[in-house]
Chains A and B, each alone.
Chain A
Amino acid sequence: MASLTQHTRLILLCIALLLPASLYTQAAYSQVAVEPLGVVETLPDTPGATWFWASDPLLERVALTDFSSNRVLGSVDGGWGITAILFAQQNRHEFYVPETHYSRGSRGERTDVVTFYDSKTLAPIDEVIIPAKRAHNALPTANATLTDDENFVVIFNMTPAQSISIVDTQQRRFVTEIPTPGCSLVYGAGERRVMMFCGDGSLLFITLNNDGTLQHKQRSAVFFDPQQDPLTEKGVRIGTHWYFVSFEGYVYAVDTSAQAGSFATPWSLISDEERRDSWRVGGRQFFAIHPDTMTGYVLMHEGEIDTHKTGGTHLWTFDLNTQQKIAAHKLVSPGFTFSGVPTEFGADWIWPFNGLYSWLAGFSFIEPHARPDAIIVTAGPEPVLLLGGQFSGMVAVYDALTMEFQHRITTGNLSNLVLQYPPVTSPVIPASPSEQMAAQ
């Protein structure tokens, strides 16, 4: 009995020593508190530097994803066709989405509208109905733009008669329609000024009055031959300049600060030797520029004539100031999704098996339809290049300075047709020629 008592004492001592820890554990894992219903998240006041938007015409939406955390943050619905967002740089509380809707889904009465979205709630806060004429095509951008003063949304119409519709963003009303026969698409080119491509190889500059009505039309000289070597519509704007690349890989810089535009001498991205090897530019969104370093990024492939819309197998970088090629990089596939679900596997496996998916997905480059055809580059000292395509909801993330592949992310889309990076830097607003003249 004496030994049993000692044993019992020992157990009681152990219990006494462990009891506080047990109580602490119970306190730490107490039951979950009752939570309120109906909570809906909002986004921060300013967009994150690692956010981007990807448009999906099949789901008729644009998804917002953080490419750093690989988290989807929200989405906006866009109606029929390819939806692209117009981001304001000064008034970041809202953004604008030109949309087309039918009263019976894909049929019935057509309504075209510019929807005003709250940037924090991603909820529609207003809309302006516009003529049901807005152009529908396969382009990622250039079907609408904001003027630099952000007071007007300008929408390109095609019925097939060409015109533009003007929407006042301050008074939230449709202003007018301006005929632009022979000229298409629309690019920002000044405080209340836009630029359009004309079929003869010239540009049309349109300046608006303070109320959004037409002030002035100015046609540029013909500066390229659309029959011999047309410029692709996929331009990139840096300050007062628009940069376009032709089918044959020549860079055209357009200075919009001149009254009728001024044009630098075109230069070739492709050397004679590379041209003999059939290297070509190609893709839906094949061209991007890092504004801080003026590095140009171009999706390239080996192909015959008329492959200007074929996606890339490689990415070439250029110093746009010195007009010199920097490097060529073989691309890693963004990967594939099945009904929006990523198929990537083995990223955390040990080497070399962690590269198995990339190796297998790399064979898809043989099939032109499965090549990535869209890139965007973020701004700032540590730029990131995002690589995607219409064949997949996945996006490859690269360090844009070293072009080292980082990881893959998923937007939830079935198809990433347009990639957009919202402005996070201060705007560069050039004075339009009419304003310069007025100041003089």
Chain B
Amino acid sequence: MATTLPGRAAAGKTSRGGPDPATPPTKARRKWLSWKRSTPYLLLVPAAVLELLIHVIPMVVGLWMSFIELTQYYITNWSEAPWKGLGNFTVALDFSGPLGRQLLRSFGVTLGFTVLTVGISFGLGLCAALALQRFGRGRGFIRTLFLTPYALPAYAGIITWKFMLQRDNGLVNQLITNDLHLTGNRPFWLIGSNAFVSVVVVAIWQQWPFAFLMTMAGMQVIPDEVYQASSIDGASTWQQIRHVTLGMMKPINSVLLLLLFLWTFREFNTPFVLFGPTPPASADLLTIHIYSSSFINWNFGLGSAMSALLMLFLILVAGGWALWNRRISRDA
């Protein structure tokens, strides 16, 4: 670095906008290594190194894993694992084979889970924020109460749900069979088809405070004058909500929906704590499915290929969102 850079600078590139174009070329050459010039880069170095360590390198390793046959025979010596090319991807995407079919099924379950969880969480959060906006006293208390699920450690919250959803001595069955007498038979909540309902409910319980928090913050920055102006123009409360509140919150809501979608789609804690490594088919979410394919069956190449596909899908979603959002902001 120290030798090449001044060399390049001497090769007639001095006119390319230095910090002070008026200084003669010799001074500019010396300034190449000055603190002032290098500070921004030096400041970037720790971030760049961390970014490499935390994001880029694991991602590249993960991608590489998806191209090799990483099974129990090679797990302690990766370099000997045979190259499989796209083999893992073909297995994962062969929807006539059992692995591909189950992956597709799991993808569908996850999509349903995500749409329901995000939709309901967002709706609940928005309603709660709107209601609280018109609320005077006690607002702080209710706000804190609503945020509790988000503040609880995820594991503690979910394990409590797991106890409540037990068949024999869970609170939920106690309530609906013993107290309300809605059903004669105690239903299962953690196996069979009800498991899907359980995982959606628990995920909403966890997600909605975040939606509430964000929409509430978004509403607070809308200036009162806009509401006043609209009411002078004769807008009803509903019209105010629709055109002023929601209209001005569009950028916030679109970021919020994207975040919620990405987080929910790759949710791991909730199904794993509720069901363990072998979830019922109705709640076989993608992340757990990938986990079982790699860790339970010890086929890490296949698991990585599935993870790569999941990543690809989420990149597509985020990319589609960015395009859509650009159109929205251009129109606005």
Question: Does chain A bind chain B?
Answer: no
A interface residues (Cβ-Cβ under 8 A, vs B) = none
